[in-house]
């Protein structure tokens, strides 16, 4: 078999475990030196391919690659850059082929979410459309958990665990303070379109340790009176209440709740989050003392409390991508197939990229409770295994010993290219 080099890139918002997928790709490729030569990583995603800014991963030690498994963020840099269609942008596709040819690249591994799957699909068609032999495999990654076919998406389980743990801990805190001080705690979480992450906050409450939690899903139109009534009821019953609000919650006019047209004292528009908006609604409507937090990047970067299930799945997706490539596949994505709930079991499957690209998986309606403020037992059954297990990074001087790679550049062979 002819030995070809491979290209690997990270795309879109990074996660606590996207580097675990990178470790899966790189370690598996190294085990198949008879088929895959060097793995070149794109510096800052697909931009690295377009600008011939390639990183020679063979310069990294086995220890460094292994350490990627416990290092959050994108070790090679990521980007937000979506290729247009071949018709609209032939220049970029031709450039990709030029770079791939110059560096003898026959495998294309793209690690990202929905938009990236679309890019990967387009690249996978290059062998047909532009006559360049290339196998393109998508490695799934997104905290939004919105890729179709796969049971879940690497990156989501760790965010879900972070949000569930944080909601549990903050709820214990506000419960302690509620007699004379704070009665409501509001936590803003990611998820502009789907409420998967917000739903994870519901896991903090369980039968043997019930916690009053109100979840505000982007799928449910915000109803101020109903919301205030629910908070009021919980505070009367329990003395306190936690609110987990998705950044994507909208009001009846379809406007983001976060977008309140805030102005500072000089009349300048100010951008705020949705958490302070919800907190102010509680203050005005119920006169209760509150605290609020916005998790933002902390939630998706929190490798220190990553889900072991998630880490293992992220690694497995990277490994399977290489194995699928070696087996001759093109235009596919490894998937996670749930085979059992109790005990939880899963295996690696395969999806055609054509079935993945541009399809968004929303939360099933029966995952949200009838009143719109909680999760159903069906949702709990789905989510619980995904946060199962801890996979602690090693520590040095009190901090996680995350690796920073050398990221040695491959010598350029081509003229510059402007993107």
Out of 53, 118, 144, 391, the active site residue is: 144
Of these, 294, 316, 332, 353, which contacts its own copies (CB under 8 A)? Answer: 294
Among 190, 192, 172, 195, CA closest to 182: 172
The region of 54-62, 101-109, 359-367, 400-408 touching its own copies under the rule CB under 8 A is 400-408
Question: Within positions 374 to 393, which residues make up the interface with its own copies, using CB under 8 A?
Answer: 384, 387-390, 392
Please tell me whether residue 307 binds its own copies under the rule CB under 8 A. Answer: yes
* 252, 271, 365, 370: which one binds its own copies (CB under 8 A): 271
Q: Which stretch binds its own copies (CB under 8 A): 24-32, 73-81, 223-231, 311-319?
A: 73-81
- Our finding on whether 107 is near its own copies (CB under 8 A) is no
Q: How far apart are the first and last CA of the chain?
A: 35
Give binding residues for substrate as ranges.
Answer: 142-144, 190-192, 247, 297-300
Is-catalytic flag, 144? Answer: yes
Position 263 contacts its own copies (CB under 8 A): yes
Indicate which single residue of 106, 140, 201, 273 sits in contact with its own copies (rule: CB under 8 A): 273
Stretch that binds its own copies, among 147-155, 166-174, 368-376, 408-416 (CB under 8 A): 166-174
Among 103, 138, 161, 319, binds its own copies (CB under 8 A): 161
Q: How far apart are CA 82 and CA 343, in angstroms?
A: 39
Rule CB under 8 A: say whether 228 interacts with its own copies: no
Q: Which of 2, 398, 411, 418 binds its own copies (CB under 8 A)?
A: 398
**Is position 296 an interface residue for its own copies (rule: CB under 8 A)?**
yes
CA-to-CA dists, residue 49 to 11, 130, 155, 360, angstroms = 12, 17, 24, 27
How far, in Å, CA of 127 to CA of 274, rounded? 46
C-alpha distances in Å from residue 215, one per residue of 29, 90, 247, 282, 374 = 43, 46, 12, 14, 6
154 binds its own copies (CB under 8 A): no
Q: Are 240 and 290 in contact (CB under 8 A)?
A: no
Residues 176-195 touching its own copies, rule: CB under 8 A, are: 176-181, 185, 187
Stretch that binds its own copies, among 109-117, 258-266, 365-373, 410-418 (CB under 8 A): 258-266
Confirm or reject binding of residue 360 to its own copies (CB under 8 A). no
Instruction: State the nearest-atom distance from the C-beta of 42 to its own copies, in Å.
Output: 11
* Residue nearer to its own copies on the CB measure, 124 or 178: 178
Closest approach, Cβ 287 to its own copies, in A, equals 14
Which residues are annotated as catalytic? 144
């Amino acid at each position: 078999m002819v030995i070809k080099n491979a290209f690997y890139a990270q795309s879109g918002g990074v996660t606590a475990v996207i580097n675990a997928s990178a470790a899966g790709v790189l370690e598996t490729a190294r085990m198949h030196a008879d088929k895959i030569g060097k793995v070149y990583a794109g510096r800052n995603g697909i931009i690295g391919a377009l600008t011939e800014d390639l990183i020679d991963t063979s310069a990294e030690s086995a220890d460094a690659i292994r350490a990627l498994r416990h290092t959050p963020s994108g070790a090679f840099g990521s980007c937000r850059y979506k290729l247009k269609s071949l018709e609209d942008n032939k220049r970029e596709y031709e450039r990709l082929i030029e770079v791939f040819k110059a560096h003898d690249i026959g495998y294309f591994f793209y690690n990202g979410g929905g938009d990236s799957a679309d890019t990967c699909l387009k690249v996978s068609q290059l062998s047909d459309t532009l006559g360049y032999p290339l196998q393109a495999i998508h490695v799934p990654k997104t905290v939004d958990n919105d890729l179709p076919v796969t049971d879940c998406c690497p990156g989501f389980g760790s965010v879900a665990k972070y949000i569930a743990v944080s909601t549990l801990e903050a709820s214990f805190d506000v419960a302690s303070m509620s007699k004379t001080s704070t009665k409501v705690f509001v936590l803003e979480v990611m998820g502009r379109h789907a409420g998967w992450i917000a739903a994870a906050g519901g896991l903090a409450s369980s039968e043997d340790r019930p916690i009053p939690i109100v979840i505000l899903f982007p799928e449910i139109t915000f109803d101020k009176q109903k919301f205030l009534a629910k908070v009021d009821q919980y505070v009367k019953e329990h003395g306190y209440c936690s609110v987990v609000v998705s950044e994507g919650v909208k009001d009846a006019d379809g406007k983001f709740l976060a977008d309140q047209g805030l102005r500072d004292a000089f009349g300048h528009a100010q951008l705020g989050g949705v958490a302070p908006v919800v907190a102010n609604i509680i203050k005005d409507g119920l006169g209760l003392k509150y605290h609020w937090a916005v998790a933002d990047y902390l939630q998706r970067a929190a490798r220190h409390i990553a889900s072991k299930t998630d880490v293992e799945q992220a690694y497995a997706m990277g490994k399977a991508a290489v194995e699928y490539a070696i087996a001759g596949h093109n235009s596919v994505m490894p998937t996670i197939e749930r085979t059992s709930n109790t005990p939880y079991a899963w295996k690696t499957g395969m999806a055609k990229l054509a079935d993945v690209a541009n399809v968004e998986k929303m939360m099933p309606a029966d995952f949200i409770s009838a009143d719109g403020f909680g999760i159903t037992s069906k949702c709990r059954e789905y989510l619980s295994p995904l946060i199962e297990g801890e996979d602690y990074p090693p520590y040095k001087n009190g901090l996680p010993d995350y690796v920073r790679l050398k990221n040695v550049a491959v010598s350029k062979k081509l003229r510059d290219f402007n993107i």
